[in-house]
Amino acid sequence: MNKSALALALGAAFLAAAPAHAQSTNVTVYGLMDAGVEYVNHATATNASQLKVISGGKNTSRWGLRGSEDLGGGLKAVFNLEGGVLLDSGNADGAMFKRQAYAGLEGDFGRVVIGRSFTTTYDLVIQFDPMGFAPNYSWATSGPATGPSKYGMTTAFDNLVKYTYKKDGVMVGATVGLGEQNTAEEGRKYALGGAYKFGKLNTMLSYEAINGVNVAATGRHDEITAIHAGADYRDGKWRVGGGLRSYKLVSGKAATADVKADTTWLGVSYMPAPYTITGAVYHVNVKNVAAGQDADPTMVVARVLKALSKRTDLYLSVAHVSSKNGKLTGLSRDDAGFADTQNGVTAGIQHRF
């Protein structure tokens, strides 16, 4: 997204605001509380197993405030404050409003927000994750934490300007994270893409580019690009879909090889109410490494979910991961692995308010 396009998006929002007159304001307190018990083997340096309470087995626990003010003429002011919660300890998951903190305008032109929020790429990809962007046992946004890179994407930007437009099965958007560094491109982040619905088929394509901070020794910065594509078909009680991420990191450090990997996933869900039964496979094809050094991990997941009400679910997830060439791997994108294979079982409850 170039500067001219960004200026046009902002200009359209401000012009639309010209005749604004406040009509009404609403504020909603919302949240999602997800807690479970997990068993995993090969969980420590001595390859011991662990049984532990976890927060966010299916979705990240969070709470927030969101609201809007009717400005008249179809225009609204919008805001959102959202933070993560760790139910196993009661601690905040990062900064108070690490997940989202923004204000903006919404109207017939779409929505423009400024602050911190999820990227356009994130908004698109989570719709095509068969596990629904589960913190446990999903690699749609990232691979296992034990790789030289997680081969993933950046889910949220600080200092962002984000534009989103949705209408009649079409979603398009672009996000710019202003680097606020010494040079124009240093620390700058971009994400753009779109989705389109063809009857029962949904499709998605997105592009992301992340620039790091300059390395003093070379005067260069890391440059990460990630291209995503996905498709999802839903018919009655069945859903079949998959996605692809092509990831590349060009290092700003001296004599450091680029990092390349393709992540693919495929999932099938059967939904006889009140149950949802899902099976998924995630695979990372690690590239640009010496022969015999690629891990190429594969994770297989199965989950049964029972809806107790519109707001409360019980779930049971089972997963297995293995890698090649004796390389370490693990099920989680956050916890390091200590063997070339790992098994896990999570039973949990999720409540939304």
Q: Can you give the pLDDT of all 353 residues of the chain as single tens digits? A: 444 444 445 454 444 444 444 457 899 999 999 999 999 999 999 999 999 999 999 999 999 999 999 999 999 999 999 999 999 999 999 999 999 999 999 999 999 999 999 999 999 999 999 999 888 899 998 888 776 557 899 999 999 999 999 999 999 999 999 988 888 889 999 999 999 999 999 999 999 999 999 998 998 999 999 999 999 999 999 999 999 999 999 999 988 888 899 999 999 999 999 999 999 999 999 998 888 889 999 999 999 999 999 999 999 999 999 999 999 999 988 888 899 999 999 999 999 99
Q: What is the pLDDT of residue 143?
A: 85
CA–CA dist 19, 312 (Å, integer): 43
Strand runs labelled E in 168-274: 170-177, 189-198, 201-211, 223-235, 238-250, 259-270
Residue-wise pLDDT tens digits, 146-181: 765 578 999 999 999 999 999 999 999 999 999 888
The answer to whether position 85 is within a domain reads no
Q: What is the CATH number of the domain that holds 149?
A: 2.40.160.10
Q: Which two tokens stand for residue 317?
A: 């997830």
Tokens 């690009």 correspond to 225
C-beta separation of 72 from 25 below 8 A: no
* Cβ burial, residue 17 (10 Å; 0-12/13-18/19+): middle
What does the DSSP assignment read for 76-95?
Answer: EEEEEEEEEE-TTT--EESS
CA–CA dist 1, 121 (Å, integer): 13
Q: What is the pLDDT of residue 21?
A: 47
Q: What is the pLDDT of residue 15?
A: 47
The answer to whether position 89 is within a domain reads no
Q: What is the pLDDT of residue 291?
A: 85
The answer to whether position 136 is within a domain reads yes
The answer to whether position 16 is within a domain reads no
Neighbouring C-alpha atoms within 13 Å toward the C-beta of 350: 24
The answer to whether position 74 is within a domain reads no
Task: List residues bridging with 249 in a β-sheet.
Answer: 224, 259
CA–CA dist 206, 279 (Å, integer): 25
Q: Give SS3 for 14.
A: helix
Structure letter (DSSP) for residue 213: P
The answer to whether position 179 is within a domain reads yes
CA–CA dist 4, 7 (Å, integer): 5
Q: What is the pLDDT of residue 149?
A: 59
Q: What is the pLDDT of residue 282?
A: 97
The answer to whether position 299 is within a domain reads yes
- The domain total for the chain is 1
Range of the domain at 174: 35-60+99-352
CA–CA dist 56, 88 (Å, integer): 9
Query: Position 3: which residue type?
Result: K
CA–CA dist 353, 290 (Å, integer): 50
**Rg over CA atoms, the chain:** 21
Q: What is the pLDDT of residue 26?
A: 95
Q: What is the pLDDT of residue 138?
A: 95
Torsion sign over Cα 20, 3, 119, 213: negative
If we measure between CA atoms, which residue out of 254, 191, 188, 175 comes closest to residue 223? 188
The answer to whether position 26 is within a domain reads no
